[in-house]
Amino acid sequence: MASPIRPPIDPVDRAHLTGISRPTPPIFRYAPAPPLADLVERYWIPVWSLREPQSQSTLQHPVCLMVVSNTYARFFGVVRGLSTVTLEGDGWAVGTMFTPATGRLLLGRSVSEVRDTAFELTDLSGFDGAALVSQIRAVMGEDPLSVQSHTRAVAAVETTLARAVTVDEQGLLINRIVAWLAEHPDVTRVGDLADEFAMTERTLQRLVLARVGLSPKWLIQRRRLHDAVLELKSGETTLAELAVTLGYADQAHFTRDFKTVTGMTPGEYLADQPVRRPPG
């Protein structure tokens, strides 16, 4: 029986560093089916046709990714800095953004072992990557822009995942921790995060390292940068106000952190946004 058409979602993407000089191809985004919500955050499907190569930069969410395209199929660990990919010619990709719980379940070991790395999907043990890649390429090859093709590709991913893994209690806990942190921009101390979940900082450190691959401090810093990108895209605040909102002691510290990871200052990124901007 054919899969029901799944309507796209359009979340605000605070991870993708887009701008006037950094255009993006069309990207279709889909929510997971309810039974997969503990394993998948969302799916994203870019489709492009380019005369010149185009670089895309992101500040990756604290999760592992799986990407099957017309030319490659890879599993990605969490990247500490800036993630960059170059698109060229005609192509498409079906990306799966996992929840924090899922990476370790698929890997069978700590996610810290694969941070800043990617490997072929077919090398993922306990997961029939070759069959999944064949299914996705078959349905996407028919019409990469069709929502029906996307729905069938997503269904193939979900069928494979449902057979391969089941979320565990620690997985549910790390999902709650990361979701809570995203909803509380005022939290800037690891101790406050540990207190909220009634655990010691050492216990929190071990859990986040095993499931995300990095530290609780990195989680907080990445959340702050995501919030910064979102606000800069809106153009509805000054840089000084934004630094205060993000919990920085001053604008200089905010500028330093943003530039260290993205390679540009907040002012440079703001100036590249296609919106009205208040004075800096």
| Predicted confidence (pLDDT) per residue in 114-142, tens digit | 999 999 999 998 789 999 999 999 999 99
Give a three-class secondary structure readout of the chain.
Answer: CCCCCCCCECCCCCCECCECCECCCCEEEECCCHHHCCCEEEEEEEEEEEEEEEEEEECCCCCCEEEEECCCEEEECCCCCCEEEEEEEEEEEEEEEECCCHHHHHHCCCHHHHCCCEEEHHHCCCCCHHHHHHHHHHHHHHCCCCHHHHHHHHHHHHHHHHHHCCCCHHHHHHHHHHHHHHCCCCCCCHHHHHHHCCCCHHHHHHHHHHHCCCCHHHHHHHHHHHHHHHHHHHCCCCHHHHHHHCCCCCHHHHHHHHHHHHCCCHHHHHHCCCCCCCCC
Query: Is the pLDDT confidence value at 277 over 60?
Result: no
64-98 per-position pLDDT tens digit: 999 999 999 999 999 999 999 999 999 999 999 99
pLDDT band for position 2 (50/70/90)?
Answer: low
CA-angle at 141, arms to 140 and 147, nearest 5°: 35
pLDDT of res. 67: 98
Mean pLDDT for the chain overall: 93
258-274 per-position pLDDT tens digit: 999 999 999 999 999 98
pLDDT band for position 237 (50/70/90)?
Answer: confident
Which has more pLDDT, 93 or 278? 93
pLDDT of res. 48: 97
In Å, what is the CA distance from 50 to each residue of 55, 253, 268, 276? Answer: 11, 38, 26, 28
47-74 mean pLDDT = 96
Helices 129-142 + 147-164 axis angle, to 10: 170
Query: Is the pLDDT confidence value at 215 over 90?
Result: yes
How many Å is the maximal CA-CA distance in the chain? 58
Gap between the Cα atoms of 214 and 203, Å rounded: 14
153-200 per-position pLDDT tens digit: 999 999 999 999 999 999 999 999 999 999 999 999 999 999 999 999
22-32 per-position pLDDT tens digit: 999 999 999 99
Query: Is the pLDDT confidence value at 276 over 70?
Result: no
Query: Is the pLDDT confidence value at 1 over 80?
Result: no
pLDDT of res. 13: 82
pLDDT of res. 275: 66
Cβ(102)–Cβ(63) below 8 Å: yes
pLDDT of res. 7: 77
Q: Which residues contact 17 (CB under 8 A, 6 or more apart)?
A: 57, 58, 59, 82, 229, 262, 269
pLDDT of res. 279: 47
